[in-house]
Amino acid sequence: MIAVCAMVISYSASAQYDPAFRFGIKAGANLSNINGSNDLSLSQGGNAFNFKDNDNRSLGFVGGVFFRFGRTFYIQPEVLLSQKGGKFNVFQDGVQNSDNKVDVRFSNLDVPVLFGVRVAKFFRVNVGPMASLQMSSNGKINDTFNAVTGDNSNAEFKNRLAFGYQAGVGVDFGRLSLDVRYEGNFTDVAKINFDNATTASQFGKKGNLFQATLGFAIL
């Protein structure tokens, strides 16, 4: 009986939690992809190579901290470690096999700044700009280009810093929050310059993802 009363009191206190400032932690998952309006074709040594977008999305972790200033109208900056990626199909002389698939993965430091409005106390709508700094990658794009254009292709990864946006909805219940968002990029997240191919000299793609996170307000 005592335990039940304690749970009811804790539940009520959490439901009434509604400060003008929140600081908390959050974690969840990304479903990401990298694509563009044009495919890339390379010719090297008489062989034709085509890199085409793959619709399959990569699953990655996202987590970090958030700050929220305001109640009905609010600003919410965040600092997140975000795993992103995408997949490409590689065709050699028009033929694809199981070895000609590239699974690209990045670890990024994301800083979105969201502007939002809360509806009916629990429901939120928010949108805002984001800066994304690439911390590391699995090098698959570079390795593939080097294999296609030769070891002396001087393939070099560009655009470690990308700019984009996030938009989505959220639900608050006390200290807990659930957010679902879409993320897009204004600038290329994957861009490589190389100088040993005869029909192309640059490769650039933008990223996008769907994100779901669960947050807990410490303050």
CATH number at residue 103: 2.40.160.20
Tell me the Ramachandran region of residue 139: left when phi exceeds 0, alpha when psi lies from -120 to 50, beta otherwise. left
- What pLDDT is recorded for position 12? 46
List, for residues 44-97, the tens digit of each pLDDT value. 555 556 777 788 888 999 999 999 999 999 999 999 999 998 887 777 665 655
**CA 215 to each of CA 2, 77, 193: distance values in angstroms, whole numbers, following the listed order:** 29, 14, 40
Tell me how crowded residue 83 is: count the other CB atoms within 10 A of its CB. Answer: 19
pLDDT at 11: 45
pLDDT at 160: 80
Q: What is the pTM of this model?
A: 0.81
- Say how many domains are in the chain: 1
Q: Six-digit token pair at 86?
A: 């995408």
Contacts of 58 (CB under 8 A, 6+ apart): 30, 31, 32, 33, 84, 85, 86, 87, 103, 104, 105
pLDDT value, residue 164: 95
Query: What pLDDT shows up at residue 76?
Result: 98
The whole-number pLDDT of residue 2 equals: 54
Go through 3-39 and write b for each residue having 16 or more CB atoms within 10 A of its CB, e for each that does not: eeeeeeeeeeeeeeeeeeebebebebbbebbbbeeee
Q: Can you list the residues of the chain whose pLDDT is less than 70?
A: 1-15, 36-49, 92-100, 139-159, 191-203
Residue 83's domain comprises 2-217
